[in-house]
Amino acid sequence: MSLLFASLPVVVIVTVRYGAELLAFCRQLFTQAVKLTRGTVSINKTHAFVFSNCTHGQVDSVLETFHLYDLTYPSLCIGQVKGEFLDEVVSRATPQWVLELGMHCGYSSVRILRLLGPAGRLLTVEQDPETADKGEEIILVAGFKHPQFQVLACPSAEAVTGIQARLGVAQHLDMVLMDHDTGQYLTDLLALERCGVLTPGCVLLVNHVFCLKGRPFLEHIQARPQCYAQCRQLQGMMELTWNRASDVC
Ligand SMILES: C[S@@+](CC[C@H](N)C(=O)[O-])C[C@H]1O[C@@H](n2cnc3c(N)ncnc32)[C@H](O)[C@@H]1O
Ligand SMILES: *[C@@H]1O[C@H](CO)[C@@H](O)[C@H](O)[C@H]1NC(C)=O
Ligand SMILES: *[C@@H]1O[C@H](CO)[C@@H](O)[C@H](O)[C@H]1NC(C)=O
């Protein structure tokens, strides 16, 4: 009993000082628990929900419907917080050619496309053909058209190997988003390095970079500070810039 009273001030201090964070944390736990009761991630469910609940042709409505889905069901999309980070990077980089590895239902693709200039192009890769079809449909529903974007329904390794043929005369990539398979990150990055399509200053945005399987990737870039400048990191999503300033790269 006396122990209880003795710890009371601590509890009060913790609650007052960290109350907001504590509340946010509890809310997040609760949301996750609710989501778990709603089954596993399903591309069909995500697609059906967004397709039938958004206003077709309105990009903001498409994104809001994704957020609504994300509130209740487990989802693979990067979500709103990382989405805003992505927005910021795209707005700053004003890329012409963007490569996205891991399209899923098209959430991050739509976020990118809405911020590209008239000459901006997105190549997005999804290895599962059914998912690729569904994601492509959502991008079209959001109001984007070919050739602003192109969906490559193949494994990233295959897409990266044939990338030069997909790029226009300029033959360069200004931005790469990796959100597919952490175990594949390094292989794909090395292939991009080898074929010389990364422009100096090319921005890489890499999700789940601290995953165990992502370690070889992390070691590769950390061992080459003259080639890769680490900019920022948010919830495991890291922004890097490819320098290619020296002969080492
Ligand atoms: C986390 S989801 C991508 C989410 C998406 N970026 C978004 O925010 O909406 C990862 C996707 O990558 C795909 N994928 C996994 N490994 C892949 C690979 N090696 N090549 C291409 N796609 C892959 C999966 O099928 C899945 O749809
Ligand atoms: C998802 O939808 C496709 C048709 O678009 C269907 O062939 C497939 O069986 C569905 N998958 C599941 C798990 O319901
Ligand atoms: C549309 O949204 C409502 C709730 O906002 C949901 O109950 C319904 O299942 C959604 N439609 C589809 C096809 O998922």
Task: List domains and CATH numbers for the chain.
Answer: 2-248 (3.40.50.150)
Residue type, 73: Y
Among 48, 199, 174, which residue's Cα sits nearest to residue 112? 174
What residue owns the CA closest to ligand 3's atom 11? 49
The whole model's pTM is what?
A: 0.88
Q: What is the mean pLDDT of residues 233-244?
A: 94
Q: What is the per-residue pLDDT for 14?
A: 52
**Cβ distance 232 to 239 under 8 Å?**
yes
Give the number of the atom of ligand 1 that is nearest the alpha carbon of residue 104.
27
Q: pLDDT category, 18, cuts 50, 70, 90?
A: low
Query: What is the rounded distance in angstroms from the CA atom of residue 38 to the CA atom of residue 36?
Result: 5
What residue owns the CA closest to ligand 3's atom 8? 49
Q: Does residue 75 surpass a pLDDT of 80?
A: yes
Local structure of 75: helix, strand or coil: coil
Among 128, 126, 91, which residue's Cα sits nearest to residue 205? 91
Q: pLDDT category, 147, cuts 50, 70, 90?
A: very high
Among 215, 192, 20, 1, which residue's Cα sits nearest to residue 101? 192
Q: What is the per-residue pLDDT for 244?
A: 75
43 CA from centroid of ligand 3 (Å): 14
102 CA from centroid of ligand 1 (Å): 3
Mean pLDDT for the chain? Answer: 89
What residue owns the CA closest to ligand 2's atom 14? 44
Q: Which two tokens stand for residue 131?
A: 């998912």
Q: Does residue 184 surpass a pLDDT of 90?
A: yes
User: Which H helix or E strand runs over 149?
Assistant: strand 149-152
pLDDT, tens digit, 9 for 90 and up, residues 24-63: 554 555 555 555 556 688 999 999 999 999 999 999 999 9
